[in-house]
């Protein structure tokens, strides 16, 4: 029998299952004729013998992870890779085969998402299904398949009966997932689970499914398959589907969340300026109860709220009225979404069942740059790393106290060391770690341990291999994608959720607005569309603007990629850069310099009356939260009405109506109606600003 699973292993899949260095070495050996002697058992197992005595066995089931090699190397070694490459070369010219060894083979049992209603997807998750046999419509495109067609018998054979039983116990409790269907640009289906991401690397070959969480025993693979079944049944035509699988009906009774919302209301009514010490005990109780209830996103919001109150009490620079107001609105916004059964599943709104931390299996990360921040007597660095296997971004955070009058700059911080490497090397390098731990908020840490290993190698900025979920080629298409996201107040509270890499076509113009100390650059994507790259000078990174201007102007060769935080602006996509790739990787915030370069191409900042009106309204509502709705001066309602009129004058009638509604709700003794009106107004302003 021919092992279609081995022939279907593309170079990208083999690299994902091992690493590119091992794959290059194995490829060179095969190209040089250093190939093992292959034999096949009647059951399809492939055996190999090397001249030096090393033997390899690749059983039919279990993928490469089930391969057995007599060499001492752990995991998928070069011998296993060489066997696969040799097998592919041997069968490349076999009669009747039209598949090249570097192309995935179409399965005999493919299924197109959204096919006939009588298909196998009518089965409930956790029950056997009959794989769809109709291959019509696939058009010879092997990526058109669904992991939901995998039967429970195939699951049991791939992951084992104990893991399947554990998955069924988890199914009875219920869970949520986001299913990303394959397409021509990204042919690998993947499923985001609360505990990690599972990718199905080879069509119809469940043994090659791979999760990024360590030591789950295969349970996540079964949960991902069942999530695909639910998505194929409920949302057959969506490229991305959020589903709830198994468990009882959605519970809307969350006492811990209600208590947190009530606490936020009391803070809003009383005001930060008038709070007493009694709020500390309530904050501690809210954090404890939310943690016990597994409500991860409200818990993180309450922790941030506690941090803001502590900063204000200590007269720290970390306190910001706008941040406080945002947190006071986020808690009731999440509660409303749960009660009102919005389009986003409640588990995604509340972070239910998100583990506090997830140890990852051996991971490969790509440095996308860094951001330097300074506030509250400390200087911090956020090193941003792409996790391509999970199509996600992780943030490694470090903070250093400022002990003197001369705080360290980004250039000095770039030399600080962690895991044996400098922060600068991490920000632009390639990281391979066996000790990475990811928090629910996608913050990264490296666990200490004698056997844990982390290596960092210099990066050349070869970001072309990043998956489409991280790498954008058309800014206009990325802006449309951002527009389809849920409101920020309801999204998962993950760090760097808006970080993307943009493949550049050309840099059309670079200008500097001296009054704002802001650099602007107009760029195009490699597939068209335009974006604005913008950065503002700050003292913690004095050389950032000079380094950014030089990188975009071609000093280090033609710029090919820019990474950064992306958002929608009035004129399209806006990128706040983390790094620029030309002939080298430039991380502006960690660059040398004192900011004395001459930035050419002066531009005048265009007035934006809509942004100005939204900003004025948000500042006024934040002032109300700081002072407390019960302690506002008598003239405050009139200020609100004037602000509402300003919003209406620029066409924001609904925003103006909600702000005017707050003015009408204030009285001698504001209570729950005033809180509701304030939350309504803040949510309206937030969503409007985000959707511009």
DSSP class of residue 690?
A: H
Q: Is residue 434 pLDDT above 90, yes or no?
A: no
Check residue 143 and give its pLDDT. Answer: 65
Check residue 250 and give its pLDDT. Answer: 59
Quote the CA–CA distance of 320 and 324 in Å, as a whole number: 6
Give residue 260's pLDDT band: very low, low, confident or very high (50, 70, 90).
very high
Give residue 42's pLDDT band: very low, low, confident or very high (50, 70, 90).
confident
| Contact call for residues 151 and 107 (beta carbons, < 8 A) | no
Quote the CA–CA distance of 67 and 61 in Å, as a whole number: 9
CA-derived radius of gyration, the chain: 27
Give residue 125's pLDDT band: very low, low, confident or very high (50, 70, 90).
low
If 0-12 CB within 10 Å is exposed, 13-18 middle and 19+ buried, where does residue 578 land?
A: buried
- Residue 639's contacts (CB-CB under 8 Å, 6 or more residues apart) are 620
Q: Is residue 104 pLDDT above 60, yes or no?
A: no
Q: What is the pLDDT of residues 385-417, one digit of tens each?
A: 999 988 899 999 999 888 777 788 999 999 999
Q: Is residue 105 pLDDT above 60, yes or no?
A: no
| Contact call for residues 518 and 533 (beta carbons, < 8 A) | no
Q: Is residue 134 pLDDT above 60, yes or no?
A: no
Please give the span between the terminal C-alpha atoms of the chain, in angstroms, as a whole number.
Answer: 58
Distances (CA, A) of 458 to 383, 578, 580: 15, 17, 15
Which architecture, in CATH terms, is 357-458?
Answer: Beta Barrel (2.40)
Give residue 226's pLDDT band: very low, low, confident or very high (50, 70, 90).
very high
Structure tokens, 666:
């204030």
Check residue 133 and give its pLDDT. Answer: 33
| Contact call for residues 212 and 467 (beta carbons, < 8 A) | no
Per DSSP, the three-state class of 160 is coil
pLDDT top residue among 241 and 105: 241
Q: Is residue 629 pLDDT above 90, yes or no?
A: yes
- Residue 612's contacts (CB-CB under 8 Å, 6 or more residues apart) are none
Distances (CA, A) of 490 to 203, 282, 335, 679: 34, 24, 10, 14
Q: What share of the chain is helix, strand, coil (3-state, %, to 5)?
A: 40, 20, 40
Which H helix or E strand runs over 209? Answer: strand 209-211
Check residue 106 and give its pLDDT. Answer: 35
Domain ranges (residues) in the chain: 4-91, 120-245, 255-350, 357-458, 471-590, 609-690
| Contact call for residues 321 and 625 (beta carbons, < 8 A) | yes
Percent of the chain scoring above 70 in pLDDT: 90
Quote the CA–CA distance of 85 and 76 in Å, as a whole number: 13
Check residue 74 and give its pLDDT. Answer: 78
Structure tokens, 428:
């632009």
| Contact call for residues 588 and 579 (beta carbons, < 8 A) | yes
Domain 471-590 has CATH 2.40.50: yes
Same fold, 357-458 and 471-590: yes
Give residue 62's pLDDT band: very low, low, confident or very high (50, 70, 90).
confident
pLDDT top residue among 473 and 160: 473
Q: Is residue 284 pLDDT above 80, yes or no?
A: yes
Among 512, 510, 508, smallest CA distance to 528 is for 508
Neighbours of 319 (CB within 10 A): 20
Task: List phi, psi (to 5°) of 268.
Answer: -65, -45
Mean pLDDT for the chain overall: 87
Structure tokens, 341:
């059964």
Quote the CA–CA distance of 370 and 414 in Å, as a whole number: 9
Residues belonging to the chain: 692
Among 471, 297, 450, 442, smallest CA distance to 360 is for 442
Q: Is residue 186 pLDDT above 50, yes or no?
A: yes
Among 349-363, 423-437, 653-667, the least confident range: 349-363
Sign of CA dihedral 440, 442, 445, 450: positive
Neighbours of 686 (CB within 10 A): 20
Check residue 438 and give its pLDDT. Answer: 94
Which H helix or E strand runs over 285? Answer: helix 279-293
Distances (CA, A) of 92 to 2, 7, 26, 85, 538: 11, 8, 18, 10, 58
- Residue 133's contacts (CB-CB under 8 Å, 6 or more residues apart) are 109
Which H helix or E strand runs over 364? Answer: strand 363-375
Mean pLDDT of 115-121: 37
If 0-12 CB within 10 Å is exposed, 13-18 middle and 19+ buried, where does residue 356 land?
A: exposed
């Amino acid at each position: 029998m021919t092992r279609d699973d081995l022939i279907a292993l593309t170079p990208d899949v083999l690299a994902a299952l091992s690493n590119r260095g091992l794959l290059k070495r194995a490829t060179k050996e095969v190209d040089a004729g250093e190939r093992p002697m292959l034999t096949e058992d009647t059951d399809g197992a492939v055996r190999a013998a090397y001249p030096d005595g090393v033997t390899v066995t690749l059983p039919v089931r279990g993928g490469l992870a089930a391969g057995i090699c007599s060499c001492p190397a752990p995991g998928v070694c070069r011998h296993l890779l060489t066997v696969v490459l040799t097998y592919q070369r041997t069968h490349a010219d076999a009669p009747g085969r039209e598949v090249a060894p570097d192309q995935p083979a179409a399965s005999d049992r493919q299924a197109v998402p959204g096919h006939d209603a009588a298909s196998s997807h009518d089965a409930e998750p956790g029950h056997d299904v009959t794989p769809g046999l109709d291959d019509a419509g696939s058009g010879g495109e092997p990526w058109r398949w669904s992991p939901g067609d995998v039967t429970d018998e195939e699951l049991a054979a791939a992951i084992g009966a104990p893991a399947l039983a554990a998955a069924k116990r988890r199914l009875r409790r219920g869970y949520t997932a986001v299913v990303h269907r394959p397409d021509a640009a990204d042919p690998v289906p993947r499923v985001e689970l609360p505990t990690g991401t599972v990718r199905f690397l080879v069509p119809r070959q469940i043994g090659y499914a791979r999760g990024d969480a360590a030591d789950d025993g295969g349970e996540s693979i079964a949960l991902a398959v069942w999530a695909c079944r639910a998505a194929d049944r409920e949302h057959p035509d969506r490229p991305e589907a959020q589903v709830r699988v198994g468990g009882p009906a959605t519970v809307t009774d969350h006492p811990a969340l209600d208590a947190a919302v009530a606490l936020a209301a009391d803070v809003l009514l009383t005001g930060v300026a008038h709070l007493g010490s009694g709020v500390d005990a309530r904050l501690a109780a809210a954090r404890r109860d939310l943690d016990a209830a597994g409500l991860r996103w409200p818990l993180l919001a309450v922790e941030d709220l506690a941090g803001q109150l502590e900063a204000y009490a200590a007269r720290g620079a970390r306190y910001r009225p706008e941040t406080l107001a945002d947190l006071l609105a986020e808690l009731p916004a999440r509660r409303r979404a749960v009660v009102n059964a919005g389009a986003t599943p409640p588990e995604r709104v509340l972070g239910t069942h998100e583990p506090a931390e997830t140890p990852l299996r051996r991971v490969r990360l790509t440095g996308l740059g860094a951001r330097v921040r300074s506030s509250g007597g400390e200087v911090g660095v956020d090193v941003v790393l792409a996790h391509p296997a999970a199509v996600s971004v992780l943030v490694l955070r470090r903070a250093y106290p400022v002990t003197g009058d001369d705080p360290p700059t980004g250039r000095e911080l770039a030399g600080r060391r962690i895991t044996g490497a400098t922060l600068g090397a991490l920000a632009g390098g390639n990281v391979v770690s066996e000790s990475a731990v990811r928090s629910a908020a996608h913050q990264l840490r490296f666990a200490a341990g004698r056997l844990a290993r982390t290596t960092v190698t210099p990066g050349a900025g070869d970001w072309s291999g990043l998956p489409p979920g991280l790498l954008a080629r058309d800014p206009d298409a990325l802006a449309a994608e951002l527009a389809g996201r849920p409101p920020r107040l309801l999204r998962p509270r993950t760090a760097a959720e808006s970080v993307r890499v943009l493949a550049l076509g050309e840099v059309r113009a670079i200008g500097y607005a001296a009054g704002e100390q802001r650099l602007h650059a107009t760029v195009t994507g490699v597939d068209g569309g335009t974006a604005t790259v913008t950065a503002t000078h700050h003292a913690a990174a004095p050389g950032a603007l000079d380094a950014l201007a030089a990188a975009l102007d071609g000093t280090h060769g033609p710029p090919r990629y820019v990474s950064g935080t992306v958002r929608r602006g009035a004129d399209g996509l806006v990128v706040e850069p983390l790094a620029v790739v030309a002939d080298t990787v430039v991380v502006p915030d960690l660059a040398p310099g004192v900011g004395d370069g001459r930035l050419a191409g002066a531009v005048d900042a265009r007035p934006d009356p809509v942004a100005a009106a939204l900003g004025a309204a948000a500042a006024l509502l934040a002032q109300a939260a700081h002072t407390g709705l019960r302690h506002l001066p008598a003239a405050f309602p009139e200020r609100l009405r004037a602000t509402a009129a300003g919003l209406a004058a620029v066409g924001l009638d609904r925003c103006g109506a909600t702000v005017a509604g707050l003015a009408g709700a204030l009285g001698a003794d504001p209570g729950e109606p005033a809180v509701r009106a304030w939350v309504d107004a803040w949510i309206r302003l937030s969503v409007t600003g985000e959707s511009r």
